[in-house]
């Protein structure tokens, strides 16, 4: 007697559109680890190729926009993509091209986390002239925008040094069309404070999300990883409409997992630690 063949299981996908970090600590390598931690199948389209390691970023080369769209579009057309995470884009052309591509998939939630400058190194991950296109064309496609204090400053034109200023920046960035904005608070307020306070603007309200501040050496790829954990969690809610409660739940889950990973970050050489799951 032949054994019955069971139905092939289906898995939701999350797509990362971002940069390649050869050292593995940030970019699409970090995105894919985060997607796996969230329980979804990870896909990736490369926007920039970098020379970097955990010792720092040496150089950045943007991939032509046509190639970026071809990579991401192929996956979006043929695989079960339930969320997209946008990372480093490199050029203004890539910002505009990715925005146009995402406009064709309005039902897919998008988490935008576009790093501009590295923690270590001088090469830019986003061209300065691309900021206007980012604000005007990509942010209106974002289900959630995640930014650190320096990125918020670049986008709103005002310093973001305190929790109060983070509230103002989050409100201003929501006006760009992003559905929600998370200003990450690892560097806000007094360095000796017991809590790291993230500020979330959503649905006309601003709330503070607190976590215990960890004392540790520099860690590489923290922003990439948090945004991808959120996107992965959204993708795991296959077929579910992403309402405000679902988005907040995904953010809270991602922060818990991210905080636990920070507490056990590992040294792989080169100076900065990396996150593992």
20: part of which helix (H) or strand (E)? strand 13-20
Length of the chain: 277
Residue in 133, 114, 112 with CA at minimum distance from that of residue 125 = 114
Both structure tokens of 172:
């201003």
CATH says 13-274 is which class?
alpha beta
CA end-to-end span of the chain: 43
Asked if 220 contacts 235 with a C-beta cutoff of 8 angstroms, the reply is: no
pLDDT of residue 270: 81
Residue in 22, 82, 13, 11 with CA at minimum distance from that of residue 46 = 22
Give helix 163-174 / helix 149-156 axis angle, nearest 10°: 50
**Cα-Cα-Cα-Cα dihedral of 111, 115, 119, 122, to 10°?**
170
In the block, tokens 């077929």 appear at: 239
Name the E strands within 63-169.
81-86, 110-112, 144-147
Q: Which residues pair with 34 in a beta bridge?
A: none
pLDDT of residue 266: 96
Per-residue pLDDT of 197-226, as tens digits, reads 999 999 899 999 998 888 888 999 999 999
Per-residue pLDDT of 229-265, as tens digits, reads 999 999 998 666 789 999 999 999 999 999 999 999 9
251: part of which helix (H) or strand (E)? helix 244-263
Count of C-beta atoms within a 10 Å radius of residue 240: 10
Q: Which residues contact 149 (CB under 8 A, 6 or more apart)?
A: 160, 161, 166, 183, 184, 185, 187, 188
pLDDT of residue 20: 97
* Alpha-carbon separation of residue 49 from 19, 28, 148, 195 (angstroms): 6, 11, 23, 35
Quick check: 1 pLDDT over 50? no
Domain ranges for the chain: 13-274
pLDDT of residue 193: 67
Q: Which residues contact 260 (CB under 8 A, 6 or more apart)?
A: none
Per-residue pLDDT of 21-58, as tens digits, reads 999 999 999 999 999 999 999 999 999 999 999 999 99
Count of C-beta atoms within a 10 Å radius of residue 70: 12
Answer with the residue of higher pLDDT: 195 or 75: 75
Per-residue pLDDT of 160-197, as tens digits, reads 999 999 999 999 999 999 999 999 987 675 555 678 89
């Amino acid at each position: 007697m032949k054994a019955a063949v069971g139905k092939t299981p289906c898995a939701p996908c999350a797509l990362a559109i971002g940069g390649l970090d050869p050292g593995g600590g940030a970019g699409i390598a970090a995105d894919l680890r985060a997607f796996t931690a969230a329980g979804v199948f990870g896909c990736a389209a490369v926007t920039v190729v970098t020379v970097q390691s955990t010792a720092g970023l040496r150089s950045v080369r943007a991939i032509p926009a046509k190639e970026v769209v071809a990579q991401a579009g192929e996956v979006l057309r043929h695989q079960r993509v339930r969320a997209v995470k946008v990372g480093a884009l490199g050029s203004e052309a890539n910002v505009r091209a990715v925005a146009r591509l995402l406009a064709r998939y309005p039902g897919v939630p998008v988490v935008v986390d576009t790093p501009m400058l590295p923690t270590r190194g001088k090469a830019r991950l986003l061209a300065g002239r691309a900021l206007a296109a980012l604000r005007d064309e990509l942010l209106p496609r974002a289900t959630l925008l995640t930014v650190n204090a320096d990125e918020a400053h670049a986008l709103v034109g005002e310093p973001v040094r305190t929790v109060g200023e983070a509230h103002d920046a989050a409100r201003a960035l929501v006006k760009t069309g992003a559905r929600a904005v998370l200003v990450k608070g690892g560097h806000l307020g007094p360095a000796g404070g017991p809590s790291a306070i993230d500020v979330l603007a959503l649905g006309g309200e601003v709330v503070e999300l607190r976590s215990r501040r960890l004392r540790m050496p520099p860690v590489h790829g923290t922003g990439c990883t948090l945004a991808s954990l959120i996107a992965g969690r959204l993708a795991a809610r296959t077929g579910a409409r992403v309402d405000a409660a679902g988005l907040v739940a995904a953010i809270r889950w991602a922060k818990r997992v991210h905080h636990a990973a920070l507490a056990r970050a590992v040294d792989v050489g080169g100076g900065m630690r990396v996150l593992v799951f």
